[in-house]
């Protein structure tokens, strides 16, 4: 399961979560496949499906399904890619994947042109983790729909179920997120969005498998059992010419673990024809270290917290990607993308995965159509 959080963390850096709250009341369906591969011996193949059905002129019902088939040496070896531990092996050799995660989502949207309300629920299950969540988004259109105010609330109720007999101090992981957004059309060619996000996590927030191993210490990873974060984001969309557009964004994050991060994103898009749009996107991310992580090999028996996950350390990363859109007749659309992600050199990655930096490639392919 820790693999899933690592991948979600990387994806959050590439596809910056700047809430738009836009609704689209159409009967439509989509099929897709996402892939992820990295140099830590992790491969993920994720078929996706979504169906949206209008219920009258102002209501829309939506269902989504995602399946993640994960293959990783760190799952087979107890979440350590370099140390085999038979008691923590997570799957049979005959399995098509080391872990398979099923994640359905259901939602209902009301939209009368001035008010849009979406609420729904999410569920996921995998070999050692169960996730449940509810969410609600509301948008109010103002100023002849040139201004939009939005609020989004989500609450998750997750539970750990380690694949070996380890009694955790807590087996829950609950997360609350609240977003406030303002969208403003500045000119017919330029719009801006500002978002503030509040995040609170409580429960067992580290991995049940990661451990610090030194000459005189063998301790499981242990984090504080609460975390409060705040994020501020600005996003701009500019139509540079009839065939060229630019999206840019900046996000600042801070929390009470003393992690502070900056994310810069730039995307340039060009209409090569009426049907084809493509371009280039770039992202840079940097963060400081948490206030409890220590250099590899320097923990003592008196330490309260132990961390060896690179996401608790200071590091930088960059991403370069190419999006692609092909529009067909009758509302049909094919979207695809490929992105390359790389971190700076990191001692914690070297310690756990025996790699100097994490490098990954992931792709998306989705076919969408109205019906």
Instruction: Tell me how far apart the alpha carbons of residues 97 and 104 are, in angstroms, rounded to a whole number.
Output: 19
Residue with tokens 């690592």: 6
Residue 230: count other Cβ atoms within 10 Å of its Cβ: 13
pLDDT at position 212 is 86
Question: What single string gives the DSSP state of each residue in 200-237?
Answer: EEEE--S-SS-EEE-SS-EEE-B--SEEEEEEEEEEEE
Residue with tokens 């490098």: 359
> Cα separations (Å) of 267 from 1, 188, 261, 336?
31, 19, 20, 15
Question: What single string gives the DSSP state of each residue in 99-133?
Answer: EEEEEEEEEEEEE-SSEEEEEEEEEEEETTEEEEE
Collapsing DSSP to helix, strand or coil, 12 comes out as helix
Q: How many CA atoms lie within 13 A of 91 on its CB side?
A: 21
pLDDT at position 80 is 53
First and final CA of the chain: distance in angstroms?
Answer: 37
pLDDT at position 62 is 96
Q: What superfamily does domain 2-370 belong to in CATH?
A: monomeric porin ompg (2.40.160.40)
- Burial class from Cβ neighbours inside 10 Å (0-12, 13-18, 19+) for residue 313 reads buried
Q: List, run by run, the mean pLDDT of 10-residue segments along the chain (371 residues).
A: 56 50 77 96 96 95 96 62 38 66 96 95 94 97 94 97 86 97 95 97 94 84 97 97 96 98 98 97 98 93 93 97 95 96 96 95 97 91
Q: Return the domain boundaries, the chain.
A: 2-370
- Rg over alpha carbons for the chain, rounded to the nearest Å, is 22
Q: Report whether 303 contacts 294 (CB < 8 A).
A: yes
Q: What is the pTM assigned to this prediction? A: 0.88
């Amino acid at each position: 399961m820790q693999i899933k959080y690592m991948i979600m963390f990387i994806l959050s850096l590439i596809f910056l979560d700047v809430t738009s709250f836009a609704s689209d009341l159409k009967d439509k369906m989509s099929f897709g496949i996402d892939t992820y591969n990295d140099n830590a011996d992790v491969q993920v193949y994720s078929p996706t499906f979504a169906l949206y059905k209008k219920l009258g002129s102002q209501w829309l019902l939506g269902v989504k399904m995602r399946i993640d088939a994960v293959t990783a040496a760190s799952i087979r070896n107890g979440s350590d890619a370099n140390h085999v531990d038979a008691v923590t092996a997570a799957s049979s050799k005959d399995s098509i994947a080391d872990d398979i995660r099923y994640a359905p989502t259901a939602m209902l949207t009301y939209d009368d042109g001035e008010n849009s309300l979406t609420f729904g629920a999410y569920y996921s299950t995998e070999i050692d983790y169960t996730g449940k969540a509810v969410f609600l988004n509301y948008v109010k259109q103002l100023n002849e729909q040139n201004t939009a105010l939005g609020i989004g609330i989500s609450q998750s109720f997750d539970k750990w179920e380690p694949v070996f007999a380890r009694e955790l101090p807590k087996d829950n992981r609950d997360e609350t997120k609240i977003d406030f957004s303002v969208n403003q059309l500045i000119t017919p060619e330029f719009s801006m969005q500002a978002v503030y996000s509040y995040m609170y996590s409580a429960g067992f927030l580290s991995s049940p498998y990661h451990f610090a191993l030194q000459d005189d210490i063998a301790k499981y990873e242990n984090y504080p059992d609460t975390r409060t974060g705040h994020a501020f984001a600005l996003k701009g969309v500019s139509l540079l010419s009839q065939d060229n557009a630019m999206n840019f964004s900046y996000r600042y994050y801070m929390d009470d673990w003393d992690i502070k991060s900056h994310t810069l994103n730039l995307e340039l898009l060009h209409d090569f024809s009426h049907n084809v749009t493509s371009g280039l996107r770039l992202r840079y991310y940097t963060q400081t270290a948490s206030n409890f992580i220590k250099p590899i090999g320097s923990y003592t028996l008196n330490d309260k917290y132990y961390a060896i996950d690179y996401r608790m350390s200071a590091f930088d990363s960059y991403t370069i990607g190419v999006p692609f859109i092909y529009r067909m007749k009758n509302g049909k659309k094919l979207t695809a993308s490929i992105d390359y992600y790389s971190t700076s050199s990191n001692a914690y990655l070297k310690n756990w995965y025996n790699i100097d930096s994490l490098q990954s490639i992931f792709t998306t392919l989705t076919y969408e159509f109205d019906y």
